[in-house]
Amino acid sequence: MEFLVKHTDEDTLYKLVLGLIVPRPIGWVSTISKEGITNIAPFSFFNAVNDAPPVLMLSISNRDDNTLKDTVRNILDTKEFVINMVSEELFEKMLITAEEFPPDISEFEKAGLTPEESKMVKAPRIKEAKVSFECKLYKYVPVYDMHVIFGEALLIKVNDDILTENFKVDYESYKPIGRLGGNYYAKVYGNCQIKRC
């Protein structure tokens, strides 16, 4: 099958892009508003675009009523945020943080997560996350209806137990999850790994 994009409806394109470009890592973003309310939300249009210094990218839509999501508003207001990574045991909590709560309600409380003071930015890290990137806004680029946010990491927190010798990552301890299409998620450890000879 081939899909000529200009003749394909938006719903089908959404399903194709989400279902085919997989697995996507999940950037679990914690921010703080100008008013001091903390916020968390997951985003799978997320990746790294530079390593030294690390520059990470998120692409965030508007809500259905066309208003800004709290994450975008907080990042544009404060120019700072933290991207935490989701491990398997945090999966259910991550799903809670994807629900739409009013801006005066913190997802830390709703999901039972602990805010941990960041060293380089005001936004707190998620203490339970094994990896967190403290970022300052590097660039903001609107792409069609999406808000594309580039963040430069100033500090990377990594739990000691997921790093082995020479900073290699132990995926059995890390247990990161990836997003597939629909309600499916991928595990990336154990027998699922393919090693290049």
Ligand X SMILES: Cc1cc2nc3c(=O)[nH]c(=O)nc-3n(C[C@H](O)[C@H](O)[C@H](O)COP(=O)(O)O)c2cc1C
Residues that bind ligand X (CB under 6 A): 26, 39, 41-45, 59-61, 69-71, 95, 98, 100, 179
Work out how close the CB of 35 gets to ligand X at its nearest, in angstroms, rounded to a whole number.
14
The answer to whether the CB of 112 falls within 8 A of the CB of 95 is: no
The phi-psi region of residue 116 (left if phi > 0; otherwise alpha if psi is between -120 and 50; otherwise beta) is beta
Counting Cα atoms < 13 Å in the Cβ hemisphere of 56 gives 27
Cα 3 to Cα 15: distance, rounded to the nearest angstrom: 12
Q: Which is nearer to ligand X, 141 or 170 (CB)?
A: 141
What residues does 47 pair with on adjacent strands? 57
The answer to whether the CB of 81 falls within 8 A of the CB of 29 is: yes
Q: Which is nearer to ligand X, 26 or 123 (CB)?
A: 26
Work out how close the CB of 125 gets to ligand X at its nearest, in angstroms, rounded to a whole number.
16
Work out how close the CB of 100 gets to ligand X at its nearest, in angstroms, rounded to a whole number.
5
Q: Which is nearer to ligand X, 22 or 163 (CB)?
A: 22
Q: What are phi and psi of 32, to 5 degrees?
A: -135, 140
Give the amino acid at 109. Answer: E
Work out how close the CB of 136 gets to ligand X at its nearest, in angstroms, rounded to a whole number.
18
Q: Which is nearer to ligand X, 86 or 153 (CB)?
A: 86
Work out how close the CB of 60 gets to ligand X at its nearest, in angstroms, rounded to a whole number.
4
Q: Which is nearer to ligand X, 60 or 162 (CB)?
A: 60
